[in-house]
Chain A
Amino acid sequence: MNAAAGVPEIVIERVTKQYGNAHAVLESIDLVVAKQEFISIIGPSGCGKSTILKLIAGLAVPTSGTIQVDGMTPQNARETISFVFQDATLLPWRTVKQNIGLGLELERVPSDRREKEIAALLDLVGLTKVAKSYPRELSGGMRMRVSIARALATNPRLMLLDEPFAALDEMSRDRLNEEILRLRSEQNWTAVFVTHSVSEAVFLSDRIVVLAPNPGRVHAEFRVELPVPRTSAIRNSPDFDAIVARVSHTLRETLQQ
């Protein structure tokens, strides 16, 4: 756990989300995320995991209930939030460098400062060599790195990640998991991470929230008491396996209702 723990970054109170007259996607969600906390949201398909992220980002509006980010409405807090999508979601007509600079450009940061930030980020995620390549020339893992660098470019206090590594092979996924933790320890952002993978959630998180489907609701919460900083070696420890087993068991419960 981090030093700033306890001060809330996100407060979700009794949030229900319904599209039209269909059954609720999310029902009566209460969730508080502390500043600099890393939480993962995990659950079966159709439990509204991605919808929670969209609500926090202000890309969707709750049917009832309230959401506050850093004491503001999500729309007003957008400047401090970055979103990493399931696919890398890059602009194919822009080079790696131009993609990373997109957010800064949209926020009208002057180009000399932009260049400096981009150079630092390229270095940070190890993409300096491919700065002038186009997305279609990169592997899936590298594209995801570009996407993460772009998200970090605007200096977010809150990162929302929607199954960012779901399409990658296991090795790339593990490496990027380690990289995410390294980046966070350097920059101290808060993270809400949506995933299907229990071991990924355990490796990354301070806390895991398990959702149950139909309608989406909080089923259980786990605190992950593994030592920090976490290295790849921790994946082989009995403690790690024990937590993965407990979370997996709970996840199966949500399907048996």
Chain B
Amino acid sequence: MKQRAITVLNALAVFAALVVVWQLILWIFHVPPFMLPSPWAVVRAVGARFPSLLNALSITAEESAGGLVASVVVGVLVALLFAQSRWVRKMLYPYTLLLQTVPIIAIAPLILMWVGAGIPAVTLIAFIISVAPIIANTTQGLISVDENLVHLFLMHNASRAQVLFKLRLPHAVPALFVGIRIASGIAVIGAITGELFAGSSHVGEGGLGYSILYASSQLQTDYEFALVLAATVLGFGFLFLVMFLEWYFLHRWHESARAPEAE
């Protein structure tokens, strides 16, 4: 507990130092506010435009969460399919790599054309970009079961379904959570990037990515900073939520989840 308090204090001290450096740069170099607003101006922007900030945040949160949940559902289903045979894996696995390497910016116009701008399009982008780590990690978890455990199940004439749901799937849960942790960050980034292209169905209203673009075009740099701050908060929020769920489901039996402060 004391250890954790020190960690928090350290982080706060670094943050305070950064703010001081930021303010010093403004004073020394006389940077105009539309290029770099002061920390205080950003705080004021948060206060003044809190409702629209919150609105943008909630839109992006909805898209990222939707994309992430879809990734978990689809990713686990695909992994269950991959676990069925080496042959299926060899044939289909390269396509999951494709998902991971396709430049989302390049396919965004296509998605825009197919789905139309707005929340569904961005959710789809968040899903496409975050599903690969879930497929990869869950598949690995499903197939890396100790051979003796499989033999044990065979000795009791276990069915294929019993081996899958009573052995492979629970064994894969820690690996699944590693995948979700990676995917949660990517989903938020994907949603914000997606919003830059497909963020809004009517002008002036959209998630964080769209609002950043909009604020930038209006030279509202202080508000832009506030939006970036909100995006960071969202990313952290997702990560902490996933880490809490991981701890909640695994701490009783799995080593990795025993000491969250070790992260």
Residues of A within 8 A of B (CB): 54, 57, 59, 78-79, 81-83, 85-87, 89, 91-94, 102-103, 105-107, 134-136, 154
Contact with A along B245-263 (1 / 0, CB 8 A): 0000000111100000000
- When the two chains form their complex, are residues A93 and B173 in contact, meaning their CB atoms are under 8 A apart? yes
Question: How far is the CB of A99 from the nearest CB of chain B, in Å?
Answer: 10
Apart from A87-B148, A106-B156: 5 A-B pairs, beta carbons within 8 A: A59-B154, A103-B156, A106-B157, A107-B156, A107-B157
Please report the C-alpha to C-alpha distance between residue A168 and residue B77 in the assembled complex, in whole angstroms: 41
Question: How far is the CB of A107 from the nearest CB of chain B, in Å?
Answer: 6
- When the two chains form their complex, are residues B155 and A82 in contact, meaning their CB atoms are under 8 A apart? yes
- When the two chains form their complex, are residues A89 and B152 in contact, meaning their CB atoms are under 8 A apart? yes
Contact with A along B169-198 (1 / 0, CB 8 A): 011010000000000000000000000000
In the assembled complex, which residues on chain B have CB atoms less than 8 Å from the CB atom of A134?
A: 252-253
9 contacts between A and B (CB under 8 A): A87-B148, A92-B253, A93-B173, A93-B253, A94-B253, A102-B152, A134-B252, A136-B253, A136-B255
- When the two chains form their complex, are residues A83 and B152 in contact, meaning their CB atoms are under 8 A apart? yes
A-B residue pair count with CB separations less than 8 angstroms: 56
In the assembled complex, which residues on chain B have CB atoms less than 8 Å from the CB atom of A89?
A: 146, 148-149, 152
Instruction: Check A78/B253 contact, CB under 8 A, given A91-B167, A106-B166.
Output: no
Q: 3 shortest A-B CB distances, which residue pairs? A: A106-B156, A134-B253, A85-B148
Contact with A along B151-170 (1 / 0, CB 8 A): 11111111000100011001
- When the two chains form their complex, are residues B253 and A154 in contact, meaning their CB atoms are under 8 A apart? no
Q: Is the interface of B mostly helix, strand, loop or mixed?
A: helix
Residues of B within 8 A of A (CB): 146, 148-149, 151-158, 162, 166-167, 170-171, 173, 252-255
Which residue, of A57, A83, A86, has the highest number of chain B Cβ atoms within 10 A? A83
Please report the C-alpha to C-alpha distance between residue A135 and residue B149 in the assembled complex, in whole angstroms: 15
Question: How far is the CB of B92 from the nearest CB of chain A, in Å?
Answer: 28
Please report the C-alpha to C-alpha distance between residue A86 and residue B157 in the assembled complex, in whole angstroms: 21
Please report the C-alpha to C-alpha distance between residue A164 and residue B151 in the assembled complex, in whole angstroms: 15
Please report the C-alpha to C-alpha distance between residue A68 and residue B154 in the assembled complex, in whole angstroms: 18
Instruction: Check A85/B152 contact, CB under 8 A, given A91-B167, A91-B170, A135-B253.
Output: yes
Question: How far is the CB of A72 from the nearest CB of chain B, in Å?
Answer: 13
In the assembled complex, which residues on chain B have CB atoms less than 8 Å from the CB atom of A92?
A: 253-254
In the assembled complex, which residues on chain B have CB atoms less than 8 Å from the CB atom of A57?
A: 151, 155
In the assembled complex, which residues on chain A have CB atoms less than 8 Å from the CB atom of B166?
A: 102, 105-106
